[in-house]
Chains A and B, each alone.
Chain A
C-alpha cells in the first residue's frame, strides 16, 4: 500500500531533508529521524511500547559494538598524531620522488588509504591535501587526489567501523559479507588509482603510470581481501594501505623524476620507522589475538550476551526470539585497538616523542572529537532497529522490490552512495540502508553478500563527496568558500567509479555470483 510505503520512508526522508536542506549534522538529524520512526511505528505499524523498548535495548548493543571501534580507532590516531608520527611520515614521503604522478599515487592514494585505515573521519584529505599543495599541485587537484584515492579504503578503513556497522545492521556474520565486499572494493581501488593519476597529470599519466597503478592496486586489494576474509577485517584497509605504501616506496627509484636531492638520511629513516611502530604494534596484537586459539578463546570468555523474546506488532509482523548482538568485551576490535593504543603510547613515550601533558591531550581530544558522531550513530542505529522490528523496513523493501524488480542490482550501489552522500558517512549509510537492501534482495532472490557488498562499496565511494568531508578537505587546502568547485569536479570522478561498480555488480549477477 502506497501510504504505508511513504510513511515507512518518512524517517529516512526526514533525515535526508534536514541534512541537505538545513545542513544539519548527523547528531542533530539522527534524533529527529528516531522520533519520527517511533511515532510512525506506534501510530501506523502497530508497535507497542514493549516492542519499542526491546528494540531500544537491541539498538544499544549495536551502538556499543560500533562506537567501541570508533572511539578506540580515534584514540590510536591521537596517540600517533600527538607524538608527531603522522607528520614525520608525511614529511618523508615527498622526498622519495619528483615525478608528479608518482607523488600523487604515493601520497594521495597509498598514504591516504593508510590514513583512512588507521583514522578516517576526514583525516586522509586533511593531512595529504596540504602536502600536495606544498609540492606544487593546485589546491583543487590537491583536494581531488586524496578524496578519490582513499575512497576504496573507507569500508575496511577506520579499523572497519563501516563494515562493523554492516554486520551489526544486517545480523549477518562478517565471514559471509567480507569476500564480496572486499572484491568490489578492491576492484574499485584500481579505478581510484587510475583516476588519481589522471587528476594529477592528465591522460598521459594513465599510460605512463599504468604499471604502478596495477601493481599497487593489486597489492592493496589483495592484502585487504586476504585480511578481511580471514577474520582480520578491522585491519583490512589499514593493512592494504600500509603494504601499498611500502611497495610504493620500493618502486619509486623507477619513477624518481628529475631531482631528488637529499634522499632521506639514516636518522630520518629511523624516525620514520619509529613513527610506524605504533601501527606495527596493532598488527602484532591483532595477529596474536586472532590467530592463536588459546588467546582467542581466553579473551572470548567475557562477552555481553542478551537474549530477546519473540516480538510481534499488533498488525502481526514478527521478529523471532534470539540473541542480540554479542559483544566479546576483551576480544572486540575496539579492545584490540585499545591495547594497541596503550602499547603505541608506551613506545612513543619511551622514545621521548611526547611533550608534557600529552596523555591528557590525547584523551580529551579523543572524547571531544567522537562525541558528536557518537550521538548521531546512537540515534540512527536506534531508528534503523525500530524500523526493522516494526515492519517498516519490510514494507519499504517490498515496495522497492515491486518497483525495480530485476534491475535492483543496478540500484544497490547508488542507494549506498546516496546514503553516504546525505549522511556524511559510509557507516551511517550502512546503518540506514543495509537492512532495506538485505530485505529487498531476499524478496527478489539475489545473493545477500553481493547486494550488501554493493551497498557498502557505493557507500564508501559516495562518502567522499559528502559535504562535510568536502568542507574539511577544501579548508585544509586553502579552498574554503569554493566547496562547490570541488564538489563539481569530484562528482564526475565519483559518478564514473560508482557506474563501474554498478556494471560489476550487474555482471556478477549474470555469471551466477549473486
Chain B
C-alpha cells in the first residue's frame, strides 16, 4: 500500500534527478566546446540544458 502511495513521489524524484543532470552535466563539455570554437556543439549542449530546464519545470 505504502509503495503505491510513494510511487508518484519516487517518479517525481527520478525525473527531477534527470532534469538536474541535464542542466549540470552538459556544462562540463560546454566550456571546452566554446573555447575550441565549435558552435554546433555549443548549440546542442545549450539545447540539452534548456531541455533539462523544461523537464524540471514539467515534473516539479
Contact = CB atoms under 8 A, between A and B. Distances in A.
A53 B53 contact: no
Contacts of B39: 49-50
Contact of A50 (B42, B50, B57): B42
A28 B55 CA distance: 9
A375 B27 contact: no
Contact of B56 (A27, A49, A54, A306): A27
A99 to B, nearest CB: 43
Given A50-B34, A371-B16, A31 B56 contact: yes
Contacts of A371: 13, 16-17, 20
A54 B30 CA distance: 8
B39 to A, nearest CB: 7
Given A25-B60, A371-B16, A371-B17, A35 B50 contact: yes
Given A38-B50, A53-B46, A375-B16, A60 B27 contact: yes
A355 interface: no
B54 A35 contact: yes
Interface centre among B17, B33, B42, B53 (most CB of A within 10 A): B53
Contacts of A50: 34, 39, 42
Interface in B15-55: 16-17, 19-20, 23-24, 27-28, 30-31, 33-35, 39, 42-43, 45-46, 49-50, 53-54
A16 interface: no
A49 B57 contact: no
Interface string A372-387: 1011101100100000
Interface in A12-35: 24-25, 27-32, 34-35
A63 interface: yes
Given A49-B46, A53-B42, A375-B60, A35 B16 contact: no
A56 B53 contact: no
Given A27-B16, A56-B46, A32 B57 contact: yes
A57 interface: yes
B53 A379 contact: yes
Interface in A139-195: none
Interface in A274-313: 306, 309
Given A53-B46, A56-B46, A375-B16, A28 B57 contact: yes
Given A35-B50, A57-B30, A371-B17, A379 B24 contact: no
A510 interface: no
A227 interface: no
Interface string A47-67: 001101110110110010000
B27 A57 contact: yes
- Consensus secondary structure, chain A interface: helix
A35 B53 CA distance: 8
A56 B56 contact: no
A25 B30 CA distance: 28
Interface in A226-240: none
A379 B52 CA distance: 10
Contacts of A350: none
A375 B56 contact: yes
Nearest to A324: B31
Nearest to B23: A378
A368 interface: yes
Contacts of A379: 23, 53, 56
Nearest to A63: B24
Nearest to B12: A372
Contact of B20 (A35, A49, A375): A375
Contacts of B60: 24-25, 27-28, 372, 375-376
A375 B19 contact: yes
B20 A374 contact: yes
A112 B13 CA distance: 29
Nearest to A383: B53
Nearest to A57: B31
B37 to A, nearest CB: 9
A24 B28 CA distance: 29
A86 B54 CA distance: 38
B34 A372 contact: no
A57 B46 CA distance: 11
Nearest to A364: B13
Contacts of B34: 50, 53-54, 57
Contacts of A35: 50, 53-54, 57
B54 to A, nearest CB: 7
A358 to B, nearest CB: 19
A35 B45 CA distance: 15
Contacts of A60: 24, 27-28
10 contacts: A30-B56, A35-B57, A53-B33, A53-B45, A56-B27, A56-B49, A57-B27, A306-B31, A371-B20, A378-B20
Q: Lowest 5 A-B CB distances belong to which pairs? A: A31-B53, A27-B60, A28-B60, A31-B57, A60-B27
Given A25-B60, A52-B46, A379-B56, 13 more contacts: A27-B60, A28-B60, A31-B57, A35-B54, A35-B57, A50-B39, A56-B46, A57-B34, A371-B13, A372-B16, A374-B20, A376-B60, A378-B24
